[in-house]
Chains A and B, each alone.
Chain A
Amino acid sequence: QKEVEQNSGPLSVPEGAIASLNCTYSDRGSQSFFWYRQYSGKSPELIMSIYSNGDKEDGRFTAQLNKASQYVSLLIRDSQPSDSATYLCAVPPDSNYQLIWGAGTKLIIKP
């Protein structure tokens, strides 16, 4: 059974600090990794994708991938109250059009 694991939280971070969200996956063959954000009562939306080992930056967001450790993380710099949401990690196990989803980490940014 291929799995994606996330700490459910909630993770509480002061406004302006760095929020660090982590995800581990079981399938060593996975080649791409996705972070979605879901506000309460809303649908998920893609915020970052990463395909290669190392860091990928997009504004205040940085995705970090370590395939050897089967670990992907999302850093949010200068956290804002509007970043309060559940962050979902998703990994395609192979090329059959599916994504395996983690249960999500609830992030709370305290003003």
Chain B
Amino acid sequence: NAGVTQTPKFQVLKTGQSMTLQCAQDMNHNSMYWYRQDPGMGLRLIYYSASEGTTDKGEVPNGYNVSRLNKREFSLRLESAAPSQTSVYFCASSEAYETQYFGPGTRLLVL
């Protein structure tokens, strides 16, 4: 039982490049989330998926897109990376919104 897994762990991009962050959970949770965390700031929700087939914008969706591929997988795509997107990205899942289980995070640096 791996919980929530994320790939890659680290990534360096140049401005304008694109990439997809992958997330998978094996807890059969309905809801999945993508957050970013910047120094001195709390977790900010980028997008979430309350259930398979649905996605909704969070607090900071600009510059990102998501895909809920199936119940297990929820990916985050940066189409044209910008330095302001340098951050740590966490994926989380939950059965209800309360107890969210987090992946190990992806550290992204955009030059």
Contact = CB atoms under 8 A, between A and B. Distances in A.
Interface string B67-111: 000000000000000000000001000001111101111000000
Which range contains the number of B residues in contact with the other chain? Answer: 20 to 34
B98 A34 contact: yes
Interface of A: 4, 8, 32, 34, 42-46, 49, 88, 92, 95-99, 101-104
B98 A49 contact: yes
B102 to A, nearest CB: 4
B31, B58, B99: residue with the most chain A Cβ atoms closer than 10 Å: B99
B40 interface: yes
A102 B105 CA distance: 19
Contacts of A101: 42-44
A103 B37 CA distance: 9
9 contacts: A4-B42, A34-B99, A43-B102, A45-B102, A96-B50, A97-B31, A98-B48, A98-B58, A103-B40
Contact of B105 (A34, A43, A45, A104): A43
B97 A99 contact: yes
A22 B100 CA distance: 21
B2 interface: no
A46 B100 contact: yes
A73 B43 CA distance: 19
Nearest to A99: B97
Contacts of A32: 98
